[in-house]
Amino acid sequence: MTPVRLIATDLDNTLLRSDKTVSARTVAALETARSAGVRIIPATARNVRGVVAVNARTGFSDWAVCGNGACGVHLGSGEVLFSVETAPVSLAQVVETVRGRFPGARFAAVRDLGARFVAESGYAELASTSDHSRDPASMERADAGELVAAPAGKLVFRHPSIPAEDLFAAVSDEVGRLGGVEVTLSGAPFVEVMAAGVSKAAGLARLCSHLGIAPQEVLALGDGLNDIDMLQWAGRGVAVANADPAVLAIADEITAGADDDGVAEVLEQVSKHLNNSVTGPRRLS
């Protein structure tokens, strides 16, 4: 088996438990894997700000793939390896298409690697602090025209009475046919739209090429529809037990759920394998 050099992990409902915390076992497993020489990279729908929000426990200071693959940022130095934004014309087409089906839908745009979160009237009232790692009251406000007037790393939309899963099912095909965009779900209570070609797999591939790491040297962990391509790209794709059925169906392996230290279990296995490959098997006396 090819040794694992890099582990790419989703955060919400994968590394993080359902209450957004990190278990002591997972913290220890992260430290052990790093000590064994493994690079551990968050690959997440969150923006950079959202990753930094969990750093006190996770200790992430290396690269991160954020915004569903829209940007690659070094958390220690702040270096930006890549950043892909959706063009204003595509943003406007998405808003027009979705609002034509669901007039009550509300939109927001993520800009400047997540430093700016611009929401139209009514969006902040539907959001909680945990949704975007920021107090909804701090969101910039704009009308629909202003919202789509500049490029955005990600466009998100939600509805006051329709779950994100139902919105996605109703409009994803139509939005996808517009061209210029990708549409997905991450398990958050909103639908997410990025530029065409943006995905966790594409972002991770770009980062690994920069680092000189081959796909077969990568292990990826995830739970959501936005993780499928990443799990398929990596040499080993592991789903947590609480993953969407579509993710479970394509995973190479299934570990325990996010609330049962599934990621820690995988990290421990990788560390043990690497340590054994260095020291060799111990003789029983």
* Residue 101 belongs to some domain of the structure: yes
Q: Indicate the residue among 169, 195, 221 that finishes a domain.
A: 195
Contact 43, 221 (CB under 8 A): no
Q: Give yes or no: residues 247 and 108 share one domain.
A: no
Q: Give yes or no: residues 136 and 274 share one domain.
A: no
Contact 203, 47 (CB under 8 A): no
CA distance 96 to 99: 5
Domain extent, residue 123, equals: 88-195
- The CATH number of residue 172's host domain is 3.30.1240.10
Q: What is the pLDDT of residue 30?
A: 98
In order along its 285 residues, the chain shows pLDDT tens digits of: 789 999 999 999 999 999 999 999 999 999 999 999 999 999 999 999 999 999 989 999 999 999 999 999 999 999 999 999 999 999 999 999 999 999 999 999 999 999 999 999 999 999 999 999 899 999 999 999 999 999 999 999 999 999 999 999 999 999 999 999 999 999 999 999 999 999 999 999 999 999 999 999 999 999 999 999 999 999 999 999 999 999 999 999 999 999 999 999 999 999 999 988 754 433 332
| HSE (side-chain half, CA atoms, 13 Å) at 117 | 22
Q: Give yes or no: residues 46 and 110 share one domain.
A: no
* Residue 285 belongs to some domain of the structure: no
Q: Give yes or no: residues 172 and 113 share one domain.
A: yes
Q: Indicate the residue among 174, 195, 216 that finishes a domain.
A: 195
- The CATH number of residue 256's host domain is 3.40.50.1000
Residue 6 corresponds to which tokens in the numbers above?
């890099």
CA distance 39 to 205: 15
Residue 73 corresponds to which tokens in the numbers above?
């940022």
Q: Give yes or no: residues 106 and 238 share one domain.
A: no
Q: What is the pLDDT of residue 278?
A: 53
CA distance 251 to 239: 6
Q: Give yes or no: residues 102 and 114 share one domain.
A: yes
Q: What is the pLDDT of residue 285?
A: 25
* Residue 270 belongs to some domain of the structure: yes
Q: Give yes or no: residues 229 and 104 share one domain.
A: no
* Residue 166 belongs to some domain of the structure: yes
Residue 76 corresponds to which tokens in the numbers above?
């220690």
Q: Give yes or no: residues 125 and 184 share one domain.
A: yes
* Residue 66 belongs to some domain of the structure: yes
* Residue 1 belongs to some domain of the structure: no
Q: Give yes or no: residues 249 and 179 share one domain.
A: no
Contact 151, 194 (CB under 8 A): no
Q: Indicate the residue among 180, 195, 210 that finishes a domain.
A: 195
Domain count, the chain: 2
* Residue 236 belongs to some domain of the structure: yes
* Residue 284 belongs to some domain of the structure: no
Contact 71, 113 (CB under 8 A): yes
Q: What is the pLDDT of residue 284?
A: 30
Q: Give yes or no: residues 46 and 66 share one domain.
A: yes
Q: Give yes or no: residues 92 and 79 share one domain.
A: no
Neighbouring-strand partners of residue 191: 157
Q: Give yes or no: residues 10 and 37 share one domain.
A: yes
